[in-house]
Amino acid sequence: MSRLTPHWLPAGIAALAFLSSAPAMAGKTLDGIKSRGQVVCGVHTGLAGFSAADSSGKWSGLDVDICRAVAAAVLGDAEKIKWVPLTAQQRFTALQSGEIDVLSRNTTFTLTRDASLGLHDTVVTYYDGQGFIVPKKSNIKSPKQLKNQTVCVQSGTTTEKNLTDYSKANNLNIKTVVFEKEEAATAAYFSGRCISYTTDASGLASIRNKVATNPADHVILPDLVSKEPLGPMVRRGDDEWFAIVKWVIYGLIEAEEYGITQAKVDELKGSSQDPVVKRILGTGEDAGKLLGLDKDWMVRALKATGNYGEIFERNVGPKSALGLPRGINNQWNKGGLMYAYPVR
């Protein structure tokens, strides 16, 4: 085998420099999206605050806004989306088969899902944990008081396995009542068939607000029994599309950190001298070309949905119907876990 000789090095370095600044290839997923003129987004069948359709068929929610931001970035129009409502059992097959381009459906990132399903985790858009809802009149204050009790849960979820693990670890002998569909599981709980229903705490808040005859009659226990980092997933095998979805989300998060709001996009685009703001808004270094997009990719996304903080507040925050605290979903410099990779 021949050795590299010193006179080869300058050419090699030049090649690396070229590759580091060259525009990205579009990738087959983005080519398909542009050809059909739509991003196909897999969402929940109806989880208020995250993805739900109103009576006129208009979708809204945190997960929905992530897809809208992606569509705005790649197609120039946040409305160019085909929404595909999916159950927990359907979601991964739909993504694996190519039925959808991105799964934005309150899905937990785990080792098994990342390593064995042929899918990629992108970026956490909501840090959650598994909780329990109980009737207020039960006087249950902790999940550890559920010993020998019945708990409703949906199959095909991390929730089901977490419940089994928690019961075994604490010798609770919890009697699980499993349902394929979330609607059936929640209906069983609210009808009194189970003393508790368990899922992500954000989901419990959504379900209590939507389904309970009187939400005040039901308490979400403060103790969480798992970590549930939720976010969109894409198929493996298309690094370009993976990068686009990932960096749109990081752009939304970093835009909040630097004060780029939906209302201030045009103003800051014309006046800001902050190098980070200029990169995000395409008036400085052109980050878009590295993704196979134009320089205004994040301008369109931010105009469509606002930054991450605006998306959170509008859909699930303290002033929304769900009324969830920002908590660990705050920016890293405000005590939370939202820490975007830098757009540079």
* HEC string for 307-339: CHHHHHHHHCCCCCCCCCCCHHHCEHHHCCCEC
Q: Check residue 27 and give its pLDDT.
A: 82
Residues in the chain: 344
φ and ψ of 233, to 5 deg: -130, 150
Report the mean per-residue pLDDT for the chain: 93
CA dist 50 and 65 (Å) reads 9
One-letter amino acid at 312 equals F
Where do the domains of the chain lie, and which CATH numbers do they carry? 28-127+230-334 (3.40.190.10), 130-226 (3.40.190.10)
Predicted local confidence at residue 197, as pLDDT: 98
pLDDT digits (tens, 9 = 90+) for 228-269: 999 999 999 999 999 999 999 999 999 999 999 999 999 999
pLDDT at 147 over 70: yes
The pLDDT tens digits of the residues spanning 216-233 come to 999 999 999 999 999 999
Under a CB-based contact definition with an 8 Å cutoff, are residues 27 and 68 in contact?
no
Does 3 score more than 80 pLDDT? no
Dig out the tokens for 55 from the structure: 């009576």
Please, which pLDDT band fits residue 10 given cuts at 50, 70 and 90?
Answer: low
Q: Does the pLDDT at position 156 exceed 80?
A: yes
